[in-house]
Every structure is written in structure tokens, then in C-alpha cells.
Amino acid sequence: MTATASVSGAAASFGTHPWVRFAARRLGRLVGSVLVLVSAAFLMIHLIPGDPVRGALGPAAAQSVVDAQRESLGLNDPLWVQYLHFLQHLFTGNLGTSITTGLPVSDVIRDRLPATLQLAVAAFVVAVLIALPLGLAMGVLTRAGRRPRAELSFTSTTVVLAAIPEFLLAVGLVYVFAVTLHWFPVAGRGSASSYVLPVLALAIGPAAVLARICRVELLAVLQTDYLRTARAKRLPAVAVYLRHALPNAVTATITLGGLLLGGMVAGTVLVENVFSWPGLGSTIVSSILAKDYPLVQGVVLVYGAGVLLVNLAVDVILAVLDPRSTIRES
């Protein structure tokens, strides 16, 4: 009935349909974010002092050679002219060539991106697979103030794990499991076992945060009146938890899980450097040190686009799972 109504009224109410408004609002925000991202990627690296050409050619190169190279790269133009050139190239799909290696930036990204993506996605999957069952189980076990000691050890353990920065965790994992126990390789990307430590280093912190959130969300749902109603029906405990508690508890967990994935993308930068992982994270650090403008801009754009895409995906998934969130915003 509603479907036919919305079809017949589609022409008249095109601008007022909640989903259309949601899409328009979300796309507008995305465009704004992309503009900020592009400008920030350009300005950040250009405002850092230092000369990329001098860095690439070395301190022994003649000043005339450096000046000629700067002129040919357009680095002597005013900043806004360089910015417009950057935008112009960007819209034609040209990210420029690396100053230090002379390779096209898009080739470098194509080579390096898969390693970083594998790391981030694997870490996200592992974090969710640890956090959801752990958080839900702890929520059920510690409901209504039960097992206070289990709750204390859970909350204190997770707060410590969540507080350790991932690069420190990475160094600790390498020391224990690679250097001392020789279970896994110290660094590099090769066999499946080389993935274990970097993925764990990335996943443990977010998993701890997510498990805590998941537990608290479940506890809140368990106290609601409709859970009391479900118990009043004498449903089996499994039905009460899976059918009534779980769907209501996961909304916030998904939102925060998505935001954590965004943070994980940034975390790969640090972890990749600890493990000499041949991804974008090690590329961006070396290119910043070399002031390789085009390469830094290109990689920062990829990282930023990754975070924006994740946020967009989270918003869409949430809107589908919980239509109230789209309506509430308008």
C-alpha cells in the first residue's frame, strides 16, 4: 500500500521523500569533505619548509641545476597557481610523477595499495570477530551487576589494551613472538604467518574498544521494558538474546566499528613502518621525509578517500538497518 502510494506520488514528492533527502544530504557532505581533503593534501606538504628538488638531487648539486629543475616542475610559481595546476591535473586523473623516483604516482599507489588494504581489512575482520562475541558474552554474564570480579577484570584489561598505541603494541608483539619465541617473522610480507603480528597489532586496540561498547550497549538493552516483555512471554533465553537484545544492541556497535575502521586506516601507517610492510604507510613516511610533493599528495588523497568511503558505507548501512536515523536527522 505504501509502495503504490510512493510510486504514484513520486513525481510530486520527489524532493520530500526521506531517502532522496538522505542521499542528497549525504552526497553534499561528501563533496564538501572531498574539497577539504584535496586542499589539505596540497597545503599540508607545501607549507612544510624544505626544498624537494634540493633533497632529490643532493647537497652537491649545482644551484643552477636545482633552479632549472624547480622551474620545470613549476615550483617557482605562486602557491595559488600551483594549487590550480594540481586541481586541473587531478580532474584529468593525473596525480603527477614522483620527484625522487620519476615514477608516475598512480603506479606507485597501484603497487602499494593492495598490501595496505589487506592489512586494514584483515585487522577489521579480526577485531569484529573478537569484539562482538566477547562483548556480548560479557554483557550476558555481567548483566544486572552479576559477576562483579569478571566485569572488573574485563574492563581493566580492555582499557589497558585500548590505551596502548598500536606501534608500541607492534614492537611488543615482535619482541615476544618473533624475536624471543620465533613463532612468526620479524618483518616483511610473505607467507600467511607474516600477516599475524601486523594484523594483531592493528586489531587488538579497536577490538578492546569495540568489545566494551558492545557490552555496555547490550546491558542497556537488557534493562529495557521490551526485554521485560520478552521475558514475560517465557521465551527461551537464546530467543530473548538473539531475537530481541542483539538487533537493538548492534546499531551503536556498527557505527563505532566503522569509525574504528577509519582509525585503522591511519593505524596502518605506523604499523607498516614497524614491520617494513610494503604498503602505502611506509611510502607516505619516506615521501614526506623527501618532500616528494606529488607522491605525498597522492597517498594522502588515497588515505582520505578511504576514510570518507568507510564513513559513507557506515551511514548507508545504518540507514538501512535503522531507518529512524535518517528521519531523525531531518
Partner 1 sequence: MSELRFDQVSVRFGTGSRAITAVDDVDLVVPSGQVVGLVGESGSGKSTLARAAVGLVEPSYGRILLDGVPLDHRAGKRRPLQMVFQDPYSSLDPRMTVGDTIAEAVPRTAGNRADEVARLLELVGLDAARANAYPGALSGGQRQRVAIARALAGQPDVIIADEITSALDVSVQGTVLNLVRSLQRELKLSMLFISHNLAVVRYVSDLIAVMYLGRIVEFGPADQLLTDPQHDYTRELLAAAPRRGTTSSSPYPSQRTSA
Report whether 241 contacts 292 (CB < 8 A). no
Q: Is 247 in the site for partner 1 (CB under 8 A)?
A: yes
Report whether 306 contacts 113 (CB < 8 A). no
As a whole number of angstroms, the distance between CA 37 and CA 312 comes to 15
Q: Is 232 in the site for partner 1 (CB under 8 A)?
A: yes
**Count of beta carbons in the 10 Å neighbourhood of residue 254:** 16
Which of 65-73, 110-118, 125-133, 239-247 is the region at the interface with partner 1 (rule: CB under 8 A)? Answer: 239-247
Q: Is 165 in the site for partner 1 (CB under 8 A)?
A: no
Among 149, 236, 328, 330, binds partner 1 (CB under 8 A): 236
Q: Is 180 in the site for partner 1 (CB under 8 A)?
A: no
Which of 113-121, 195-203, 235-243, 275-283 is the region at the interface with partner 1 (rule: CB under 8 A)? Answer: 235-243
Residue with cell 544486572: 144
Residue among 267, 52, 301, 259 nearest 167 (CA): 267
Per-residue DSSP letters for 287-329? Answer: HHHTT-HHHHHHHHHHHHHHHHHHHHHHHHHHHHH-THHHHHH
Residue among 23, 101, 3, 108 nearest 330 (CA): 23
Among 16, 81, 226, 276, binds partner 1 (CB under 8 A): 226
Which of 9-17, 89-97, 121-129, 219-227 is the region at the interface with partner 1 (rule: CB under 8 A)? Answer: 219-227
Residues 23-62: x/- map of binding to partner 1 (CB under 8 A)? Answer: ----------------------------------------
Find the shortest distance in angstroms from Cβ 159 to partner 1: 31
Q: Using CB under 8 A, list all residues that contact partner 1.
A: 224-226, 228-230, 232-237, 239, 243-244, 247-248, 324
